[in-house]
Amino acid sequence: MERTEIIEKIKTTISDCFPDMEVSSLEEDSVINTETSIDSMGFVLIICKLEALFDIRIPERQWQKLSTLGDVADAIEKRLPKA
């Protein structure tokens, strides 16, 4: 799966979880904590939905390290089956 597709799916998931949030301006280096209104519980919700969407599991220990959209995309990409 292309990186751009992963990023788009992340943004779509965020939008599904938070319909009032403007996601079109989010980029790879967007910091989730500061550039969105997503709190820690909202972050849990998004990660769970992404895990289900991509059929992967990101260890909870790693969630703390996911600051930017790019970090989330890295975590997903790393766990996708290699083509």
Partner 1 sequence: MRCNDFDDLLKMKAESLPDHAALRYGDKSWTYRELYEAVCAKAKDYAASGKTCLGVLADGSADCVISLFGAAKAGLQLVMLDASLPDEAYPMLLAYTDVDILWGDPDLCEELAPYLTKGVENGAGNVLFFTSGTTSRSKAVCLTQYSLCQSAWNGGSLLPLAEEDTLLNLLPLGHVFGFVCGLMWGLFCGACVALGRGPRRYTEDCLFYQPTAVSVVPLLLGFLLKARALNPGLKLILIGAGDCPDPILKAAKMTGARVSFGYGLTETSSGVALSLGDDPYAMTVCPDDTVTLADDGEILIRVPTCVMKGYYKRPDDTAAVLKDGVLSTGDLGRFDENGLLHITGRKKDILVLSDGTKIYLPEYEGQLAAALGNPELAVALKDGRPVLIVHEEASDTDPAERRTALLKQLSPLMKALPRGQQITDVTVTAAALPRTATGKIKRYELSSLL
| Nearer residue to partner 1 within complex by CB, 24 or 40 | 40
Tokens of 49: 């939905």
| Nearer residue to partner 1 within complex by CB, 17 or 77 | 17
Q: Is 60 in the site for partner 1 (CB under 8 A)?
A: yes
Q: Percentages helix, strand, coil for the chain, rounded to the nearest 5?
A: 60, 0, 40
The least distance separating partner 1 from the CB of residue 40, rounded to whole angstroms, comes to 5
- Residue range at the interface with partner 1 (CB under 8 A); choices 2-10, 19-27, 55-63, 73-81: 55-63
Q: Is 24 in the site for partner 1 (CB under 8 A)?
A: no
Tokens of 60: 């909870």
Question: Residue 17: what are its φ and ψ, rounded to 5°?
Answer: -75, -35
The answer to whether 43 and 63 are in contact (CB under 8 A) is yes
Q: Interface with partner 1 by CB under 8 A: which residues?
A: 31, 33-34, 37, 39-45, 48, 51, 59-61, 63-65, 67
